[in-house]
Amino acid sequence: MRLDVVSIFPEYLAALDLSLVGKAAKSGLLDVRVHDLRDWTYDRHRTVDDTPYGGGAGMVMKPEPWGEALDAVAPPDGPAQPRLIVPTPAGRPFSQELAYELAAEPWLAFACGRYEGIDARVAAYAGERMRVDEVSIGDYVLNGGEVAVLVMVEAVARLLPGVIGNPESLAEESHSGDGLLEYPVYTKPATWRGHDVPDVLLSGNHGVIAQWRHEQSLHRTAERRPDLLAAWGDAAARKEDAAS
Ligand code: SAM
């Protein structure tokens, strides 16, 4: 998968060289290209922002550098176009489902906004030749899109075949498989600072362990994310209807 990230703080994306994403890039599973938006400015101050039409506080990212950056990263007459992700708190919510969808794309490009965001015509222009998704990583406001891109790239990259050592660990996670939160996990020692690992996990009985984990998942989901439990219940009811 090819990933292009355009930002005025390319150093922010240095974390993409680390851990599993970095390893995936070194092994050739990912082709990561980070670009400095200011490379497409021509004034002495390398200006990327201006005051908003209509007035109001803050600055808006100018369309010209963004247009040139997009044309350089993905030439309009090129043989293929990326799917462009524009992080914004006003976007559709990022989710594990969207991460799976993006993991199936051969090429993703990310446009990191700053200030009050990017002139809205940039997404409209890009949308004339590539799929554009404006995506939010949560209901809060960050200073820029870089951290949001790190979040999305990590969530997507770990789904690519070969990135995670044991692909089975993807199936049992929170927000995957049955849609419930994952059960609590433990490792050695069996007793630590007066806290014991639940006996059932030491029993060696895989059926009983699976049942206990499922109950823990249900309990956790009910307590922490009743919205997910309701969705799980609806899906289970639909499955039963389909089977009858
Ligand atoms: N004025 C914008 C609004 O109210 O929707 C917020 C702009 S924010 C200060 C600057 C940039 O940070 C955005 O253009 C976007 O790239 C990024 N950003 C902030 N919060 C985000 C979030 N929750 N999800 C994704 N990107 C976010």
Backbone angles phi, psi at 54, to 5 degrees: 90, -5
Q: What is the pLDDT of residue 18?
A: 95
Distance 55 CA to ligand 1 centre (A): 19
Structure tokens at 228: 């997910």
Q: Can you give the pTM of this predicted structure?
A: 0.95
Segment 74-80 mean pLDDT:
98
Average pLDDT score over residue span 50-68: 98
Q: What span, in angstroms and rounded, lies between the C-alpha atoms of 177 and 53?
A: 47
Give the CA radius of gyration of the chain: 22
**Ligand 1 mutation pick, 141, 149, 150, max ligand atoms within 8 A of CB:** 141
pLDDT over 90 at 75, yes or no:
yes
Nearest residue (by CA) to ligand 1, atom 23, is 89
Closest CA relative to residue 33, chosen from 110, 95, 99, 85? 110
**Ligand 1 centroid, distance to 1 Cα (angstroms):** 26
Q: How far is the CA of 20 from the centre of ligand 1 (A)?
A: 26
pLDDT of residue 129: 98
Chain segment 216-233, per-residue pLDDT in tens: 999 999 999 999 999 999
pLDDT in tens, 150-196: 999 999 999 999 999 888 888 889 998 889 999 999 999 999 999 99
Does residue 101 register a pLDDT over 90? Answer: yes
User: Does residue 56 come out as left (phi exceeding 0), alpha (psi in the -120 to 50 range) or beta?
Assistant: left
Q: How far is the CA of 117 from the centre of ligand 1 (A)?
A: 6
Residue type, 178: D
Please enumerate in sequence order all residues whose Cβ is within 8 A of that of 196, keeping only pairs 6 or more positions apart, or say none: 190
Q: Which pLDDT score is estimated for 109?
A: 99
Query: Which tens digit of pLDDT belongs to each residue from 128-141?
Result: 999 999 999 999 99
Predicted confidence (pLDDT) per residue in 3-20, tens digit: 999 999 999 999 999 999
What CA–CA distance (Å, rounded) separates 55 from 43?
24
pLDDT class of 127 with cuts at 50, 70, 90: very high
Residue 36: is its pLDDT beyond 90? yes
